[in-house]
Structure 1
Amino acid sequence: MIEEAIIQIEEANTELRNYLDKIDVDPERMAYVEERFSKIMSLARKHHVMPEELYQHHQDLLAQIEALDCSDEKMAEMEQEVASHFDAYVRASEKLNKSRGRYAKELNKLISQSMHELSMEKAKFAIDVAFQSDHPSPTGMDSVVFLVSTNPGQPMQPIAKVASGGELSRISLAIQVITAQKVDTPSLIFDEVDVGISGPTAAVVGKMLRKLGESTQVLCVTHLPQVAGHGHQQLFVTKTTKANKTETSMLTLNEQERISELARLLGGSQITDSTLANAKELLIAA
C-alpha cells in the first residue's frame, strides 16, 4: 500500500509540474491585479465595509446622490419653505423681544435696589435690549447688554468697561440674588465682593450670600468677619514657603476654630475675650 501511495504522489507531482509549465505569468497583469487588490482593500477601510460589500455600498451612494439632485421645481419649493419658517422665526423673535423688554424694566429696578443695599447707593443698572433684524441667532434677534453707572453724572456704559473688580462682584451678587429663584446655577464664586465696604454693608453682603447659598453652592473669598460669619462652612487659606517653594493649602475650620478666626479678623493678631464674644455673636446671628 505504501508503494502504491508513493506512485500516486509521484504522478500527482508530475501533473502539477506539467500544469505550472503551461501557465504563462504576465508581470504586467500581475502588477495590475495587485494594484487593483490594494485599491479595493483601501476603499473598504475608508468606507468601513467588507471588500465584498463595496459594490452595494457604491450603489447606495449613487442613490443618495440622485436623491439630492433636486429639480428647479423642488428647489423653489424648498426655498419657499425656508422663507416661511424664517418669517415664523422673525415673528417669534419679535414676541421674545417685547417680553425681554418688559422683564428688563422690572429687573432694572430690582437689581438697582439690591446694588444700593451693597454700598453702591448712587449706582444705576439697566438692561439694554435692542432688536437686530440682521443678526438672527438661536436665542432670537436681540442684542442684550448690561449697563451700569456707578457714580452720579456718569453715563450708562457696559459693565465690563466701568466697574472695578469689587464692583463687578457686588453687581453679580445683586443679579444672582434677584434671579436665583428663576435660574439654576450649580456653583458661584465671588472674589473681592467685600472690597470697599464694612460694617452694616458687610453684614448685608453676608446675608445675601447665605441666602443665595440656600439654592446653590457659593464660594466666597473674603477678609471681613461679617461676611465669613454667615457662611455655612468656613475654610482657612494658608501660604507657606519651604526650600524656595511656595504652597497654598486650605483647612476646614470647626466651630471653635471659626470663632478664633473670626475673632482674629475682628481684632487683629491680639484676640481678647471681647473679640471672642463678638465672634460667637456673629455665628449665632447668621
Structure 2
Amino acid sequence: MLRELDIRDILIIDRLELTFQPGLNVLTGETGAGKSILLDSLGFVLGWRGRADLVRQGAERGEVTALFDIAEDHPAQAVLAEAGLPGGRELLLRRTNTPDGRKAAWINDRRCSGDVLRALSGTLVELHGQHDDRGLLDPRGHRALLDAFGGHGDLQATVASAWKALAAARKEEATARARLEAARAEEDTLRHAVKELDDLDPQSGEDADLDTRRRLMQGAEKVRDDVQRAAQVLGGEGAESNLAGAIRWLEGAGDLLEDKIQEPLAALDRAMTELAEAQAGVEACLDALTFDPMELEQVEERLFALRGLARKHGVLPDDLAELAGALRSRLKAIDHGAEHIAGLEAAVAAAQTGYKTAAEALQQARQAAARHLDAAMAAELAPLKMERAEFTTEVRPATPGPDGIDAVQFTVATNPGAPSGPLDKIASGGELSRFLLALKVCLTAGDTGLTLIFDEIDRGVGGATADAVGRRLAALAACAEGQVLVVTHSPQVAALGQHHWRVEKAVTEGRTLSNVVPLGPDARVDEIARMLSGDQITDHARSAARALLAG
C-alpha cells in the first residue's frame, strides 16, 4: 500500500506531502489543476519512462519520495533480495532529477538502478486509464495477461523448455546434414588422402629419428677413421699391451719392494678395467658407424616423403599420424552418415512430440482460462450497466514458438448479435472505460498488495452508469483489502470514495503552483457540489452532493 508521497520541485509543484489510506481514495479538481502531475511524479519515483522535463523551472533538482507498506511475503521482497537490497515492512523509494536530465535513485537509502525500480513497480502499483499503457488494448500482450489470469507459469516453463530442446535437436540435425554434404563433396579427395597416408604410415617422432640417423650416416666415413685409430691405440698393440707389460714388471719386483709396490699394482688393475670398458665403447661406436650404403638412400627417401606429405597437408611431420586419424574419422562419418542422420531425425521427432504434448496442455489450459475469464467478465459487466455486452477471449492457432501454439485476443460486442471486434475499435468511450475496468478487476483479482490507480476510468459516463463504476471501484477496494486511487471528474464516483483530496492550482507571487488538499466532510460537500454545478455552488447542488455522499 502507498502510504506517503513527497514531491519537491516537480513541474508546478513546489513542495507537496501526501498521506494516503487503505480503501478507495479519490482525487478531484479542475482540468489542468495538476492531477496528471501527481501520476507523473509517482511514475517517476517508480522508474517508469515518461516526460523528461519534470524539474520545476528555477529549481536545482526535482525529487520524489514514496513510502510503501509491504508484507513479509510481498512479491517486492523477492525483487529486493535478488538485487541485494535490504527488505522489511517499509519500502522507501527516492529518485531525483536535474534540469540536464541526470537521475539518481535510492531504495531504503541504498543506491539502485532504474531497472530495479521498474521491477519493483510491477509488484507495487497498477496504473490504468482509457489509454491503457500496460497491454489491455494491445493484442500482443493478451496472451501474457491470460496466462497470468490462469496461473500458467509452470506450463509456460515446460513449453519453453520443450521448445528449446526441439530447437537444439533441429540445429544438431541440420549441422550434421551440412557436414555430411560437405564431406561427400570432397569424398574422392578424402579417400585419396587417407590411402596416401595409410601407405606411408607415418609415426609420431619418426622425423626426428630419421634425421638423426641420416646425419650419423652422412658423417660416418670421416668419423670412422678416427674411431678406428683410437681402437688400435687402446688395443693389444697399444695401451693394453703396455699396461700388461708394466704389471708384469712390477710384479717381478714385488719381493724386493714388498708393501710399496701394492698400491701402484692396484691402480694399474683399475686402469686395465677402465681400459676394457673404453675398448668396448669404442667397438660399439665402430659397429654404429658400420652401415649398408643403401640404407642412407632409404632413410633419405623416407624422410623426404614424410616432409613432402606434411607440406602438402600444411602440418608438421609429427602431426601426420594425427591427421590420418582425423581423416579416417571423416570417412567413417560419411560411411555411417545415414545411420547418424537417422538417429538425429529420431531425436527431433521425440523432441517434437514432447513440445506438442506440452503446447497442447498449455493450449487446453488457456482455453479453460478463457472460458473462466469470459464468465468473470460477464459477472463484472452486469453491475456496470453492460449486461447485454459480450466479452470473448479468442484463443486461435499461431505459429509454434517458445510461448506455445496459440494467439490470444480480447474481443467485445456491445450488443447481442452485433459483430465483435477489438476493444478499442468496437466500444465507445464510456463503454471502453467500463470494459477496461471490468477487465482490470478480473485480471488483478489474484494480486496481493497492489495499489490500483485508475486515471479517469469513468470518462464518458455519467448518471447511473457513473454510480455503477464508482460502486465497483469501492467494492474492488474493499474486497482486495487494499488500496485504490482514482483520478475522477465524476461526482458519483467521488462521492463513493473513503478518502478525498482536491487538486487545485493557484498563482502566488507570479508563480503558478499546484497543491493537493485533503477534504473534510464540509469541504467534500462543496467539492462534489462544484463537480455537479460548476463554479457557482448553489444550495441545490450542496443538497445533491449530500445525497450522493449519503449513498
Range of TM-score over shorter length: 0.5 to 0.7
Counterpart of 2:501 (choices 216, 232, 235) is 235
In structure 2, the CA distance between the partners of 1:130 and 1:184, relative to structure 1 (3 Å rule), is farther
In structure 2, the CA distance between the partners of 1:183 and 1:136, relative to structure 1 (3 Å rule), is farther
Counterparts of 1:204 and 1:183 in 2: how far apart (Å)? 23
In structure 2, the CA distance between the partners of 1:77 and 1:213, relative to structure 1 (3 Å rule), is farther
Task: Tell me what 2:434 maps to.
Answer: 170
2:407 counterpart letter in structure 1:
S
Counterparts of 2:355 and 2:516 in 1: how far apart (Å)? 51
Count matched residues: 213
| 2:452 equivalent to 1:188 | yes
Counterparts of 2:458 and 2:498 in 1: how far apart (Å)? 18
Task: Tell me what 1:137 maps to.
Answer: 402
In structure 2, the CA distance between the partners of 1:269 and 1:233, relative to structure 1 (3 Å rule), is same
TM superposition score normalised by structure 2: 0.34
- Spell out the pairing of 1:120-269 with structure 2 (5 A cutoff): 120-132=386-398, 134-138=399-403, 140-151=404-415, 154-184=418-448, 186-214=450-478, 215=480, 216-240=482-506, 247-269=513-535
In structure 2, the CA distance between the partners of 1:125 and 1:75, relative to structure 1 (3 Å rule), is same
Counterparts of 1:85 and 1:130 in 2: how far apart (Å)? 23
Task: Tell me what 2:246 maps to.
Answer: none
Counterparts of 2:496 and 2:347 in 1: how far apart (Å)? 58
Q: Is the 8 A contact 2:430 2:461 kept in 1?
A: no
Q: Is the 8 A contact 2:383 2:468 kept in 1?
A: yes
Q: Is the 8 A contact 1:166 1:192 kept in 2?
A: no
Secondary structure at the counterpart of residue 499 of structure 2: coil
In structure 2, the CA distance between the partners of 1:213 and 1:85, relative to structure 1 (3 Å rule), is farther
In structure 2, the CA distance between the partners of 1:266 and 1:88, relative to structure 1 (3 Å rule), is same
Counterparts of 1:234 and 1:241 in 2: how far apart (Å)? 23
Post-superposition shift, 1:212? 1.5
Q: Is the 8 A contact 2:384 2:472 kept in 1?
A: no
Counterparts of 2:347 and 2:513 in 1: how far apart (Å)? 63
Post-superposition shift, 1:275? 3.9
Counterparts of 2:340 and 2:517 in 1: how far apart (Å)? 69
| 2:371 equivalent to 1:105 | yes
Q: Is the 8 A contact 1:192 1:222 kept in 2?
A: yes
2:380 counterpart letter in structure 1:
S
2:466 counterpart letter in structure 1:
A
Q: Is the 8 A contact 2:433 2:459 kept in 1?
A: no
Counterparts of 1:280 and 1:253 in 2: how far apart (Å)? 14
In structure 2, the CA distance between the partners of 1:131 and 1:236, relative to structure 1 (3 Å rule), is same
Counterpart of 1:89 (choices 343, 346, 355) is 355
More deviation in 248-257 or 225-234?
248-257
Post-superposition shift, 1:240? 4.3
Task: Tell me what 1:114 maps to.
Answer: 380
Post-superposition shift, 1:128? 0.1
Q: Is the 8 A contact 2:441 2:476 kept in 1?
A: yes
In structure 2, the CA distance between the partners of 1:206 and 1:83, relative to structure 1 (3 Å rule), is same
| 2:545 equivalent to 1:279 | yes
Secondary structure at the counterpart of residue 181 of structure 1: coil
Counterparts of 1:232 and 1:74 in 2: how far apart (Å)? 72
Instruction: Identify the structure with bigger relative contact order (alpha carbons < 8 Å, sequence gap 6+).
Output: 2
Q: Provide, for residues 196-255 of structure 1, a one-character-per-residue CA deviation record: whole Å limited to 9, x for no partner.
A: 432222221111101222324323222221101112222222244679975544333233
In structure 2, the CA distance between the partners of 1:238 and 1:92, relative to structure 1 (3 Å rule), is same
Post-superposition shift, 1:180? 3.9
2:468 counterpart letter in structure 1:
V
TM superposition score normalised by structure 1: 0.60
Counterparts of 1:148 and 1:155 in 2: how far apart (Å)? 8
In structure 2, the CA distance between the partners of 1:76 and 1:182, relative to structure 1 (3 Å rule), is farther
Q: Provide, for residues 3-50 of structure 1, a one-character-per-residue CA deviation record: whole Å limited to 9, x for no partner.
A: xxxxxxxxxxxxxxxxxxxxxxxxxxxxxxxxxxxxxxxxxxxxxxxx
1:96 counterpart letter in structure 2:
L
Post-superposition shift, 1:164? 4.2
* Residue segments in structure 1 that go unaligned for 5+ positions in a row: 1-70
Q: State the identity as a percent.
A: 39
1:231 counterpart letter in structure 2:
G
RMSD over aligned Cα atoms:
3.5
Q: Is the 8 A contact 2:529 2:537 kept in 1?
A: yes
Q: Choose 1 or 2 for highest CA Rg.
A: 2
1:112 counterpart letter in structure 2:
A
Secondary structure at the counterpart of residue 197 of structure 1: coil
Counterparts of 1:246 and 1:152 in 2: how far apart (Å)? 51
Q: Is the 8 A contact 1:169 1:190 kept in 2?
A: no
Q: Is the 8 A contact 1:191 1:222 kept in 2?
A: yes
In structure 2, the CA distance between the partners of 1:224 and 1:82, relative to structure 1 (3 Å rule), is same
Post-superposition shift, 1:170? 1.4
Post-superposition shift, 1:108? 2.0
